[in-house]
Structures are given as C-alpha cells and as structure tokens.
Amino acid sequence: MTTPQTLKGFRDFLPETMTIRNKVISTLKAVFESYGFAELQTPTLEYAEVLTGKYGEEAEKLMYLFKDPGNRAVGLKYDLTVPLARLMTQYPDLPKPFKRYQIQPAFRAENTQKSRYREFYQCDIDTIGTTSPLADAEILAVISDSLSALKFSDFTIRVNSRQILFDLIIKSGISSDKTFTVLQIIDKLDKKPRTEIEVELASKQVDQLQINNLFSLLDTAQPDPKLQEIIDLGIKLGARNVQFSPFLVRGLDYYTGAIFETIVEKPKIGSITGGGRYDQLIKTLGGPDLPAVGTTIGLDRICDVIADLNLWPNLPKSPAQVLVAIFSPDLYSPALKLSRSLRESGVNTELYPNPNIKLDKQLKYASAKNIPFIAILGPEEISQNSIKIKNMQTSEQQNLSLENLKNYLEIRN
C-alpha cells in the first residue's frame, strides 16, 4: 500500500496555517464590507457548457471536466468570473450596481510551482452595472486599505488604461489587427529586457520605425482625462501610492478601460493584485450587457509570504487561550465547572479530556499546541478558593481568584 498523500497541487491546511489564512480572510472581509461589498458564493461544480468556450483553447486544457453520476457534463470552476456572469443572467433583478466579494477555491490542472497550485483560492471584488469612474476609484481605495490592514507598507498601485494603449499603438503606425499581439509582448517587459521585446515584436512583422515610435510614445505617455479622474477620485477615497504606469498591460484581452496591478516591494513578493474594467465580458460570457470593474487579490501568495517570512510572529497559534488541566480524577468536577465559567466569560478554553493523565503530560500537551496558559485546580487551590495560572512561555505562575483570572485572561485576549 502506498503512503497516503495529497494529490499534486493540492494542500492540507494544518491549524497553524489556518490561523494565518483566517486572519487574512477576516481582515480582507472587514475592508470589503466597509465599502458595502456583500459576500457571494457560487457552487464548486458548474455545467460544463457554462465553463467551456469562454477562456480559450489553452485554458480549457487545464479544466477539470467530467461526467457526474447522473451522466451530466460538469466541471470544477476555473475562476470566479464566469460563475459570476452565469449568476448575473440567472438573477436579473439583483439591484444595480451589484457589489460583491467572493473568496472561494478554483481549480486548474497546471504545472505547480511556488504559490501556484491546482486548487487555489481567488479573492475577488467587483462592481457590476455602472460605468462611473467612482467605481474604478473605489477598487483602488479597497486595494490600498486591504494591503495597509495586512501591514504591507511598501507597495505601489500601478494604473493604466487599455484605451491609452490602443491609441498609442494606432499612433505608432502598427496595424490594428496586431493590437492584442503587441500588447501581449509588451506585457513581458517586467520579465525581459527591452531588446528582447523588440526582437519579438519584429518577429511579428512590426518594423523598426513602428517599434521606435511605440516605445517613444510609451515613454512620454500621460493619463487621459478619464484615467486621471479615476486616479484623483481614488486618492480622495484614501488610496495610497497610486502611480501611472504606461507599460502596464495586463495579459487578458477582455479589459476595456482602466487596468490595475499592485507591486509589493517590502517584503519583495512582486504582483499581489490585478484587475481592471471589463465592460463587454459578462455579455461575451452569455450574461446580460452589463459593464463591470474589479480586481483579484492574491490570497494564497499573501498567506504563503506571511508564513515564510514570519511576518506575524505574535499571532496566536491556538484558538484556545487557556487549557484547564485535570489535577486528579477526583477533582474532575471542579475543572469542568471552571472551564464552563471561563467560556461563558468569553475566554476560549480547552478542557483536557482524560483525568487519568499525569499533570506533566498535560503541560507538554499545552506546549505542543501553543496554548499560552494552563489553569490548575489542585487540593491546595480549592482550599484557598483560588486557581493556579501558569504562563507557558515564561513559566511564571500565580494564584488568582476566579474573577481575577477572568480579568487576567480577558486583558490578554
């Protein structure tokens, strides 16, 4: 029999990992909801016809498609956008603009690498049903507030517009039928030197004069009035470190207006958000003709970096703040009463379940689970109407009354 293990590209999240993930998710949810975005969830499985024909041939090679027990063609969702388009068609009476956030897993059978998995969590916010620049600006503010709340201090929100890029390509003399090919090549500038990009453009029958014109226009480009309005509104809403970046492209063809990407410099983890305005996509995916703008925040990458670099060293590693130990079998009842009283006071309390285990093993158990305190009720404590509380980090211990113990633990909660 082979050793049991997870499938390639899939992960178990052990309790310490979940502590970080839950903290990140709760932090992001609080920011999203402060702007009025409401949580949405869609099923893990969709009919295959909902998913296929929407992303392109290469993407469909990565889809998990199969027949269910009822012989229906179904698939695991590839992202959160196509299910959103399906939902907007299925529920046409949703109030517009429709502001939603969604934090759920998606599945792609691709080659795995660091922070790239076959089951991964997408964290999306979108505003559907308005072309107002305020909706775009609000996305910038949410990105800024989210990263600030997560204690990422050194970041830059780069913005550009597909309309600016389209206009520059036309002015450079490049034929319009090469627009998306050129944009896909320019999008590699973060990873390749300009000389290699020029060679690749030349291989697509873009002549040297056109290449020179294009880079000259990009080097001197400025925001158009619409993008400048979005930037100004974003800053008024509190967005920090917003920077016009004329070489920002975003790889997907469906963007129609403003595009966004956030680079985190400290810790240096590269791109952490990406999005923009996609006014035709929902209609193209079979939904109603609704404009939309949104972004994805890299939840998995954020969590991996926080864990790898130990960015939150003081984050509690156990949900239990105190372990109530069982001094001896005959003192089981007072321990039960104490654990219940602490929980009723709002203190997360774990009760050791076996009264026959020696106290030193219970102490080791608390240490292994990173429970910060252990409460002990022995004969001496009961005679003095007190409780011994031990700090598992410092080994300091003291005897406190029940009320003082509650205050002691609540202060440290």
Is 184 annotated to bind ligand?
no
pLDDT at 413: 64
Is 126 annotated to bind ligand?
yes
Is 47 annotated to bind ligand?
no
Lowest mean pLDDT of 96-110, 199-213, 357-371, 392-406, name the range: 199-213
pLDDT at 56: 72
Is 254 annotated to bind ligand?
yes
Segment 152-198, tens digit of pLDDT: 878 999 999 999 988 888 888 888 888 888 888 888 877 788 888 88
Is 250 annotated to bind ligand?
yes
Please state, in angstroms and rounded to a whole number, the distance separating the CA atoms of residues 309 and 312: 9
Among 12, 82, 60, 56, CA closest to 282: 82
Q: How many CB atoms lie within 10 A of CB 125?
A: 26
Cα four-point dihedral sign 239, 31, 304, 79: negative
Helix (H, G, I), strand (E, B) or coil at 293: strand
Is 343 annotated to bind ligand?
no
Among 59, 70, 73, 40, CA closest to 107: 59
pTM of the model: 0.88
Is 108 annotated to bind ligand?
yes
Is 91 annotated to bind ligand?
no
State CA 38 to chain mean position distance: 16
CATH number of 15-308: 3.30.930.10
Segment 289-344, tens digit of pLDDT: 999 999 999 898 889 888 888 888 888 888 999 999 999 999 999 999 999 999 99
Alpha helices in 190-316 (DSSP H): 194-203, 208-219, 225-236, 281-284, 299-308
As beta bridge partners, residue 297 has 273
Pick the CATH number of 322-411 from 3.30.70.141, 3.90.180.10, 3.40.50.800, 3.40.50.300: 3.40.50.800
Question: Within the chain, which residue ranges are assigned CATH 3.30.930.10?
Answer: 15-308
Segment 44-96, tens digit of pLDDT: 999 999 998 877 777 888 999 999 999 999 999 999 988 998 999 899 899 99
Contact 279, 309 (CB under 8 A): no
